[in-house]
Amino acid sequence: MNNISVILPLYNDAAIAESAISTIISLLEQHLPLWELVIVDDASTDQTLAVIKAQRNAERANVRIFSMARNRGQHAAFVVGCQMAKGPWYLTFDADYAAAIASLPSLVETAASHDSDLVSVSRAGQRKIPGYRRLGSIVLNALVNRATKKAMQDPLSPIKLVHQSIVHQCQHFGEKRRFLAPLAISLARNPIETSIPLPQKRGRTHFDIYDLARLTLDFMLNFFPRIFPRLLVWSLLGIVLSSLAGAGYLIMRIMGFIEANVIFQVLDFAFLFMCLNALSLAIIGEYHLRAYTLISESSPYEATEIKISPEVIS
C-alpha cells in the first residue's frame, strides 16, 4: 500500500494552510514513495485559497488544488477530493492534525493486518470541546452507530483510510454523501477503529448549537427514511384506539354503567388531537422527503481545479 491520496479540505484556514500543507508534504515524502495531495478549498471567505496558490508546493505534479463552487461542509469537500483523487487508497484528513500524518505507516499496517477496507481514527479523549458539542456528539454518534450497525467510539472522525472500492460505491448515493463518514462505514466490508496521537485542535468550531441540531435532523432524514411511514402507522393506530376508547366510554355512559369522567374525556381528546397532528406531520413529511430524495440523488458537488504554473509562485 504505497500509493495513497491524501484529501485535505480547507475552510477559512488561511492562518494554518501554509504550515499544514508543508508539514503534510514533508511527512508524506518521508514515509511513502508514491502519494498525491488533493487540497479542496470549501469556498473560503478569507485568504485561504490565495495562501494555497502562493505556496511553492502548489506547483508539484502530485499536489492538486480544487475550489468548491459554494460552501457545502467538510464531508462534501471530502467527496470532491475523492472524486478527483487517483487512489487506490484515500486518506481523509483535517488540517488541524497535520503532524499526525507521521502515524500513516501505523494506519497502513492496521489495514493490512486486519484485511480492512476502512480504518477510522478515534479522537475520543484527545480533544477539548464545549459541553453542548459533547452532548451533540454523543447523540450523533449513537445515531450513526444505529444507522451503520457498526459500533465505533468516534464514527464521525474526519481521519479515515479508505479503499477506493468504498469511494466508488459512495458516488451513487446523492446527497447522502454529505455524511460521507457514516456512509463509508456502512458500505465497508471490515471497518476498523484505531487511535493515534493527535495534536490539540484549535479552539474554534464552524458549528454552533443550531447547526448541530440541523445536522442531526438532516442525518435522520437521510439514514432513517422510514421515520415518516412509521409515524403515519403509529398515529393511525393511536387515532383508532382513541376513537374506540371514546366510543366505548360514550356507550357505557348512555347505558348507565359508569359515571361521567371529565379527566378521561380530556385525556382522550388530547390524545386524539395529538395523533391527528402526528398524522398530518407524517403525510407532509413523507411528501417533502420524497421530493428531497428526487432532487438530492442528482445533486452534484461542483468544484474547479486550480492550475498553478511556476511563474505564479513567488
pLDDT reported for residue 234:
95
- Indicate the SS3 state at residue 147: helix
Which pTM was predicted?
0.79
Report in angstroms the alpha-carbon separations of 70 from 27, 36, 175, 245, 292.
31, 24, 15, 55, 19
All three cell numbers of 175, joined, read: 446527497
Residue indicated by cell numbers 479515515 = 160
All three cell numbers of 302, joined, read: 461542483
Residue indicated by cell numbers 483523487 = 85
Of the CA atoms within 13 Å of residue 296, those in its CB half-sphere come to 17
Give the integer Cα–Cα distance in Å for 232 and 269: 19
All three cell numbers of 5, joined, read: 491520496
Chain centroid to CA 107: 21
State the first-to-last Cα distance of the chain, in angstroms, to the nearest integer. Answer: 35
pLDDT reported for residue 202:
64
Peptide bond into 225 cis (omega under 30): no
Instruction: Identify the H or E element spanning 6.
Output: strand 3-10
pLDDT reported for residue 296:
64
* Helix%, strand%, coil% for the chain, nearest 5: 55, 15, 30
pLDDT in tens, the chain (314 residues): 568 999 999 999 999 999 999 999 999 999 888 899 999 999 999 999 999 988 877 778 899 999 998 888 888 899 999 988 987 999 999 998 999 999 999 999 999 999 999 999 998 776 666 666 677 778 888 999 999 999 999 998 999 999 999 999 988 887 788 889 999 999 999 999 999 988 877 655 566 677 777 777 888 888 888 889 999 999 999 999 999 999 999 999 999 888 889 999 999 999 999 999 999 999 998 888 877 777 665 556 778 888 776 554 44
Amino acid sitting at position 139: V
Give the integer Cα–Cα distance in Å for 243 and 238: 8
Report in angstroms the alpha-carbon separations of 196 from 65, 184, 304.
27, 20, 33
Cβ neighbours of residue 227 under 8 Å, at least 6 residues apart?
A: 220, 221, 285
All three cell numbers of 116, joined, read: 480492512
* Burial category of 129 from C-beta neighbours within 10 Å (exposed 0-12, middle 13-18, buried 19 and up): middle
**Entry field: residues in the chain:** 314
120: which strand partners?
160, 193
